[in-house]
């Protein structure tokens, strides 16, 4: 049952609907990208806090790094070693085993190691003591080359480089108070 087309009807409604749907998809997927960046930023802050706290409490650098890595497991990429996490309990076991045994535990994640290529994602973590004698410890965590925006979305928006979530936390250095030389 084809109805005859009236004068002036040229499919404008279909075109307008397609344009509106494209705009809604762009807004929706843009919000998903912003949400992912915010979650990555939150994990960086959490990991930086644990890094600074470990330094402030006088832990050895390898223990500080372990704590920072475990706190950032959520943004550490795919698991490349250890028992595969089929549930959250297996993930907790991996975190516990890594804190106890370190690199010998076999637990590894993709973003923990710097590959030869600087274009791969890498979780940069560092903990430092203040050199000014102020008693402050700091932790810095950055997800370099964060896999946020796809190239298909970044090019039309003129985004040349993805934003890298990072956080720096300063913490009072309690080890300078209690563990004086």
Whether the CB-CB separation of 173 and 130 falls below 8 Å is answered with yes
On whether the CB atoms of residues 67 and 59 are closer than 8 A, the answer is: yes
Mapping DSSP to helix (H, G, I), strand (E, B) and coil, where does residue 51 land? helix
DSSP string, 62-90: HHHHHHHHHHTGGGS-SEEESS--SSHHH
**In the chain, what are the domain boundaries?**
14-178
Segment 150-165 mean pLDDT: 70
Non-local (6+) Cβ contacts of 141 within 8 A are 44, 45, 47, 48, 51, 68, 72, 123, 124, 125, 166, 167
Residue length of the chain:
181
The average confidence (pLDDT) of the chain is 79
Say which residue the tokens 């309690």 belong to: 174
Least confident window among 6-10, 20-24, 42-46, 124-128: 6-10
For 36, residues 6+ apart whose C-beta sits below 8 A from its C-beta are 148
Residue with tokens 């102020």: 134
For residue 129, give the DSSP letter. E
Residue 154 has pLDDT above 80, yes or no: no
pLDDT above 70 as % of the chain: 70
Please say whether the beta carbons of 140 and 167 come within 8 A. yes
Predicted confidence (pLDDT) at residue 42 exceeds the cutoff of 90:
yes
pLDDT at 137 over 80: yes
Give the side-chain half-sphere CA count within 13 A for 44: 22
Closest to 109 in 3D by CA, of 142, 70, 143: 70
What secondary structure letter does DSSP report for 123? Answer: E
Q: Which helix (H) or strand (E) holds 127?
A: strand 122-129
């Amino acid at each position: 049952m084809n109805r005859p087309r009236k004068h002036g009807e040229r499919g404008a409604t279909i075109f307008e609907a397609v344009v509106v749907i494209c705009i809604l998809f762009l807004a929706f997927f843009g919000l998903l990208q912003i949400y992912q960046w915010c979650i990555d930023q939150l994990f960086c802050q959490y990991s930086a806090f644990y890094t600074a706290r470990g330094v402030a409490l006088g832990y050895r650098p390898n223990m500080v790094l372990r704590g920072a890595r475990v706190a950032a497991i959520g943004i550490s990429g795919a698991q490349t070693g250890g028992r595969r996490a089929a549930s959250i309990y297996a993930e907790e076991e991996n975190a516990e085993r890594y804190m106890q045994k370190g690199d010998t535990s076999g637990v590894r994640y993709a973003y923990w190691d710097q590959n030869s290529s600087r274009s791969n994602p890498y979780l940069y973590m560092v903990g430092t003591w203040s050199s000014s004698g102020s008693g402050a410890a700091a932790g810095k965590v950055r997800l370099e080359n964060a896999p946020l925006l796809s190239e298909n979305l970044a090019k039309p928006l003129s985004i040349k480089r993805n934003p890298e979530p990072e956080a720096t936390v300063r913490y009072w250095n309690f080890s300078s108070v209690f563990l004086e030389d």
